[in-house]
Amino acid sequence: MKSTKICVIGLGYVGLPLARLFSTKYETVGFDLNESRCLELMAGHDSILEVSDDVLQNAVSNGFRCTSSIDEIKDCNFYVVAVPTPVDKNNCPDLTPLYNASVTVGKVLSKGDVVVYESSVYPGVTEEECLPVVERVSGLKFNKDFFAGYSPERINPGDKLHTVENIKKITSGSTPEISRYIDEVYSSVILGGTHLAPSIKVAEAAKVIENSQRDINIAFVNELAHIFAKIGIDTLDVLEAAGTKWNFLPFRPGLVGGHCIGVDPYYLAQCAQRHGHNPEMILAGRRINDGMGEYVALETVKHMLKKGSQVLNSELIILGFTFKENCPDVRNTKVIDIYKALREYNVNVTVYDPWANPEIVKHEYGIDIVTELPEKKFDACIAAVAHRQFDGMDVLGLLKDKHVIFDVKCTLDRSIVDARL
């Protein structure tokens, strides 16, 4: 087989770390439609902070290239698609980015080439939705003129311990020979090892159930938080006591957002419904988790009223907006649900987040946030995200004498908190 030259399509949280890693062993080109993103990366800086400047600059100096020109990827022969797979406003899978990436692949594909999809999908999408597009655009025949595989991404944004090279990788291919070839390519750079799945559909299913399982487990403890709040006992106290049993699973309540956990269950549910099964547990978990932002807002308002605080036109600060701590990723953040619910009560909400990009937040959600603490005093505070900048923060110094504090992540001193999940 000819020398492997890799093109990674999509240079976001998944694509860039993978492309950089591939570039340590193979000639690698990163492709992204966003020209300014490519220029930024070629200048040696990743604004989403997944790859450090020194690592990226070293990769570029050793030949790694990023481009928005399709002509520059035509001589590649191993294409990896790493584009987002979101849901629409009705929580239905939106495969538009995958279709568009498949068109791009089809325009540059040559005989003997391989295309591997990494985007999270339900079983069947690669072979039934994506590859027909590649066939139509390229004029080539699948499994005769070109071949395919699926290797689901397992990137955890902001996690500097479980990086792409350290996470075990599932691989699969459209023929036994191609399966082995794809597995060899990945295993040559993945220190955590690989697991060769027997089929593309099995690999797709494995990915989508990983996050669905976690979503359901978090939904369970979120429902416990509802119950225990009504009883008047602390959820974390209960979980710590129950956790003394060796087989109790250590899940914690919280907001479930981001690009995977809050999205993948809807892909699995769509697949189930297409095959005539009603996924009751999966969708019940989603309903609980999707309602947690509003729940936090309503509990905060309830505690304000109990203390005799004026809710109308009150001043409230939310600490954190990103979907997780110590990461600038605001995709599918559920903090926006807290914000919107509070605004329905005409609460004046200030969102402070030193990690989030205000321009991106404004573009995606239509709200303004601040990256520096304002000097005014607030009637209430919701600690939504546990950024390290908030460790040891004088939260009481932000607040008026009569105030309410809701601690979503259970990181504040318990003695100053009015309620927490």
User: Would you please indicate which residues are annotated as catalytic (active-site) residues?
Assistant: 260
Give the residue ranges of DSSP H helices in 66-127.
Answer: 96-108, 125
| H/E segment holding residue 196 | strand 194-196
- Which sign, positive or negative, has the C-alpha torsion 213, 214, 215, 219? positive
Tell me the HSE value of 322 on the side-chain side, using a 13 A CA sphere: 19
Please report, for residues 62, 230, 305, 306, 413, the alpha-carbon distance to residue 403 in angstroms, rounded to integers and kept in the order given: 56, 21, 11, 11, 15
191-199 CB contacts, 8 Å cutoff, 24+ apart: 191/165, 191/166, 192/165, 192/166, 192/167, 192/168, 193/168, 193/169, 194/168, 194/169, 194/170, 195/168, 195/169, 195/170, 195/171, 196/171, 196/172, 197/170, 197/171, 197/172, 198/172, 199/172
Residue 127 near residue 161 (C-beta atoms within 8 A): no
Residue 405 near residue 412 (C-beta atoms within 8 A): yes
Residue 137 makes CB contacts below 8 A (sequence gap 6+) with 102, 103, 105, 106, 107
Please report, for residues 53, 57, 150, 229, 393, the alpha-carbon distance to residue 126 in angstroms, rounded to integers and kept in the order given: 34, 34, 7, 44, 47
The amino acid at residue 335 is V
SS3 363: helix
| The pairing of beta strand 114-117 with beta strand 419-420 | unpaired
| CA 87/CA 239 separation, integer angstroms | 32
Give the residue ranges of DSSP H helices in 25-80.
Answer: 35-42, 53-61
Exposure string over 229-256, b if 16+ CB within 10 A, otherwise e: beeeebbbebbeeeeeeeeeeebebbbb
What are phi and psi for residue 68, nearest 5 degrees? -110, 5
SS3 5: strand
